[in-house]
Amino acid sequence: MKASKVDGIYDSDPKINDRASKLTELTYMEFISGELQVMDATAVTMCKEHKVPIHVFDMTVPGNIVKAVNGDQIGTIVH
């Protein structure tokens, strides 16, 4: 799990691009090839090698940590 201040991974920076789209799910390779800046590419590669999914979600929203632990559809899943 990657608890952060963003509600998921976007196809571009939503602070710069008002047309940025949130991705609900993507593969490790899509993350790496897209040069997404949410987390370090080495960490993503290690998760890929060990088949560990990554769940990126906003930890500042009350209840989101429990939702993520319960497997609710919030944020973005990288697998």
- With a pLDDT cut of 90, the percent of the chain lying above it is 67
In a domain, 16, yes or no: no
The domain total for the chain is 1
In a domain, 57, yes or no: yes
Residues found in the chain: 79
Interatomic CA distance for residues 10 and 24, integer angstroms: 9
In a domain, 15, yes or no: no
CB contact at 8 A, 53 and 47 = yes
pLDDT tens-place string over residues 17-45: 999 999 999 999 998 888 777 788 889 99
The pLDDT-based confidence of 47 (bands split at 50, 70, 90) is very high
Which domain covers residue 27, as residue numbers?
2-10+21-78
